[in-house]
Amino acid sequence: MARAAQRCKVELSALCGPWRLGVLVYSFYRATRVQRESIYVVPVFEDSVFQRRSRFALEQPGPQRQISAAGVILQFGDFELTIIRECTFSLDGGALFGVVPKALWSKTCCVDESNRVKLACNLLLIESPHGAALVETGMGARWNESERKRFQMNTLVDPSNMVASAGLQHSDIEIVILSHLHFDHAGGATTLQDERLVPAFPRAKYYVQRGEREFAQSANARARGSYRSSDYEPLEEAGVLQLIEGDQEILPGVRVMVTGGHTAHHQAVMIESEDKRGIYFADIIPTKDHLSPPWVMGYDHFPLQSCDVKNELLTRAANENWLVIFDHEVGTPWGHVGLSNKGKFEWHPLPADTLQN
């Protein structure tokens, strides 16, 4: 947290002054050649609260609101998208790449002395004219010291307001979409209040596939360790867990699509506004290093299905220039996918300064 805050200050000091900010925004456009998306750069100053959006906002300025931390909002049709980096954590590299030999995967990502690879929990905040939706809730705060140490967990947000970087409060979130119920996705869904677990987003309805909820309860010894009933039972008790069956539109332009693969009822999130399309792959493609369809996580329950679904969705993403978002990428988690003349998927991230959290 302290390191992230420090980094923000360093980066943001370079933004002070409208001149430099203007140059930065202009450079961003030139560098990326992203013609269809535009950004708001929302600077923050150490001891003051920035109360309006940058005057360099390029289209459709939104309502004024207080910004309490740095954040960059991607304008996507009439949606505003923000990545909330909730935490970083580490998992065993072998488990992360399944049957892919270490001799191959270690060329593309760093590994520590314990064979662990650093990951992030990247939540997607979608602000649309129809409401604010948060995709995933990350690890959350309900972990003891030994668990935090085991996962090398580093929480990067204030658990009492994980959407602060977008200038919102938990009570502003009307919809929470959970791709599945593993603890690194649903861990922040509930919170302890007066010694009782309650929904962390008090006004939200939470959407997950009915089959995923049923599986979480009946998971066998191999799968059980990834679920905690404390992440979802309090949602049911509060009557806010919406169990859906199959693909469904949650908000106009925001649709869940069952992918299977990672778990039988795992869902990705498709976003569509005006002429733009995007996808939050969740755990079907967790990082840029999982772009190759056969590079499937060892955690996946149905790895052959993962491979096929990845190939199908990435082909569409490349052909139709979708915005692509990876849930566990520790580098820049959003960008576009290309197809090389050798038929390989290539990653073209948005600039790193579109993620300042």
Tell me the torsion sign for CA atoms 138, 337, 264, 201: positive
Write the DSSP assignment of 43-72 as a string of letters: --BTTB-B-S--TT--S-------B-S-EE
Write b or e for each residue in 43-59: b if 16 or more Cβ atoms lie within 10 A of its Cβ, otherwise e. Answer: bbeeeeebeebbeebee
**Contact window for Zn ion (CB under 5 A) among 65-73, 82-90, 116-124, 279-287:** 279-287
Q: Output the smallest distance, CB 300 to Zn ion, in A.
A: 9
Q: How far is the CB of 265 from Zn ion (least distance, A)?
A: 12
Check: CB of residue 107 under 8 Å from CB of residue 275. no
Task: Specify the stretch interacting with Zn ion by CB under 5 A; choose among 24-32, 70-78, 246-254, 278-286.
Answer: 278-286
Task: Please identify the residue of the shown chain whose CB is closest to the bound Zn ion.
Answer: 182
Closer residue to Zn ion in complex, CB, 283/329: 283
Beta carbons within 8 Å of 47's beta carbon, 6+ residues apart: none
> Which listed range, 27-35, 76-84, 180-188, 334-342, lies at the site for Zn ion (CB under 5 A)?
180-188
- Which stretch in 24-32, 95-103, 178-186, 204-212 sits in contact with Zn ion by CB under 5 A? 178-186
Smallest gap from Cβ 64 to Zn ion, in A, equals 38
For the CB of residue 91, give the shortest distance to Zn ion in the complex, in Å.
10
CB nearer to Zn ion: give 70 or 279: 279
Selected range binding Zn ion among 45-53, 201-209, 280-288, 325-333, rule: CB under 5 A: 280-288
| 182 touching Zn ion, by CB under 5 A | yes
- Cα 40 → chain centroid: 19
What DSSP state is assigned to residue 237? Answer: H
Tell me whether residue 234 or residue 261 sits nearer to Zn ion (CB atom). 261
CA distance 350 to 335: 5
User: What does the alpha-carbon distance between residue 144 and residue 59 come to, in Å, rounded to a whole number?
Assistant: 45
Q: Which one of 121-129, 195-203, 206-214, 282-290 is the stretch in contact with Zn ion (CB under 5 A)?
A: 282-290
Work out the burial of residue 32: count CB atoms within 10 Å of its CB; fewer than 13 is exposed, 13-18 middle, 19 or more buried: middle
The answer to whether residue 283 forms part of the interface with Zn ion (CB under 5 A) is yes
User: Is 327 one of the binding residues for Zn ion (CB under 5 A)?
Assistant: no
By beta-carbon proximity to Zn ion, the closer residue of 284 and 323 is 284
**300 sits near Zn ion (criterion: CB under 5 A):** no
Nearest distance from residue 156's CB to Zn ion, in Å? 20
- Smallest separation, CB 2 to Zn ion (Å): 29
DSSP element (H, E) containing 150: helix 145-150
Q: Are strands 248-251 and 254-258 parallel, antiparallel or unpaired?
A: antiparallel
Tell me the closest approach of the beta carbon of residue 262 to Zn ion, in angstroms: 6
Applying CB under 5 A, what is the total number of residues that bind Zn ion?
Answer: 2
Q: Which is nearer to Zn ion, 139 or 173 (CB)?
A: 139
Q: Is 86 in the site for Zn ion (CB under 5 A)?
A: no
Coil, helix or strand at residue 165: helix
Q: Which H or E run includes 126? A: strand 116-128
Query: Helix or strand or coil: residue 341?
Result: coil
3-class secondary-structure state, position 8: helix
Binding site for Zn ion (CB under 5 A): 182, 283
